[in-house]
Amino acid sequence: MSVRKLVPMNDMLADAEEGGYAVGAFNVTDLTGIQAVVQAAEEERSPVIVQMYTRGTDPTPARYMVAMAAIAAESANVPVALHLDHGRDLESVETCVKAGFSSVMIDGSKLPLAENIEVTLKAVEIAHAAGISAEAELGKIGSGAEVLSTDDRAKSLTDPEEARRFVQETGVDALAVAIGSAHGLYKFKPNLDLDLLKEIRKVAKTRLVLHGGSDLPRDQIQSAIGLGITKVNVATDLAGAYTKALREFVASNDGIIWPGRISSAVQEAMKELVRDRIILFGSSGMAD
Ligand SMILES: [Zn+2]
């Protein structure tokens, strides 16, 4: 049997597009998280994307992450990608590409369109030169804690014509679109603009990504996948599962001080959450 390596995200998303499902992209920060995500994917026979969000320019965390994810990918019997979530500049992108990530995101969504195109194009070149995939963001997905006026909310959404141009000029492999979801927990009632998603899908020749997949009604997520979303990001819900399991275990096991026991409990809770989302996104059973 050949040893599996981390796979470029693009291959997974191409299969997802054809199969009408989405691949879950789960944010982790440590070995417990990586093992939980990859074990859940193996149990569900699903491809999976392990994601990391990194601040700062120290390449050490990225290198640790690659080493751990590479071992997980080698021993897993399902495809595993390692993706940089919301790369804030080209330096972060380069750091992760050099470290061995199989996919990177550049987030130029706060820049004017021309500058977002420029920085994304460079990130795509860096990624493609290394044989990996690149994701970008157009429109502003923002935070669920921010309650915007109807006007501001509308302005933050992805414009289909801009999306068409953005994809054509950058050749980006995947595009995170602002269609009404937001990061974190919602202080307002989210309502995905599915008509807008349809419009974008018609004109933007790339694969579309839904960020803010936590705390979002399940039927809305499924509708978005039905309309062509092929990657759904889950960070907050997984962080919540981690923290809840940690608190509960410590509170009900007063005498236990061993970190290994605590992380086993945490890993189990994270794994259950990931399995649930894999089933929701329709990728269960879709691994080669
Ligand atoms: Zn995001």
Using the predicted structure, report yes or no on whether residue 42 has a pLDDT greater than 60: yes
Q: How far apart are CA 86 and CA 278, in angstroms?
A: 22
Question: Residue 51: its pLDDT value, please?
Answer: 96
Predicted confidence band at 3 (pLDDT cuts at 50, 70, 90)?
A: low
Between 127 and 149, the more confident residue is 127
pTM: 0.96
Mean pLDDT, residues 181-194 taken together: 93
> Residue 233 Cα, ligand 1 centroid: separation in angstroms?
7
Question: Residue 162: its pLDDT value, please?
Answer: 98
Using the predicted structure, report yes or no on whether residue 1 has a pLDDT greater than 70: no
> Residue 85 Cα, ligand 1 centroid: separation in angstroms?
7
Mean pLDDT, residues 138-153 taken together: 90
31: CB partners within 8 A, 6+ apart: 68
> Residue 2 Cα, ligand 1 centroid: separation in angstroms?
34
Length of the chain: 288
- Buried (b) or exposed (e) across 50-70, using 16+ Cβ within 10 A? bbbbbeeeebebbeebbebbb
Question: Residue 154: its pLDDT value, please?
Answer: 87
Using the predicted structure, report yes or no on whether residue 2 has a pLDDT greater than 80: no
Using the predicted structure, report yes or no on whether residue 284 has a pLDDT greater than 90: yes
> Residue 263 Cα, ligand 1 centroid: separation in angstroms?
26
Predicted confidence band at 56 (pLDDT cuts at 50, 70, 90)?
A: confident
Question: Residue 277: its pLDDT value, please?
Answer: 98
> Residue 128 Cα, ligand 1 centroid: separation in angstroms?
22
Mean pLDDT, residues 254-272 taken together: 95
Render pLDDT for 217-226 as a digit per residue (tens, 0 to 9): 999 999 999 9
Using the predicted structure, report yes or no on whether residue 36 has a pLDDT greater than 90: yes
Name the residues annotated as catalytic. 85
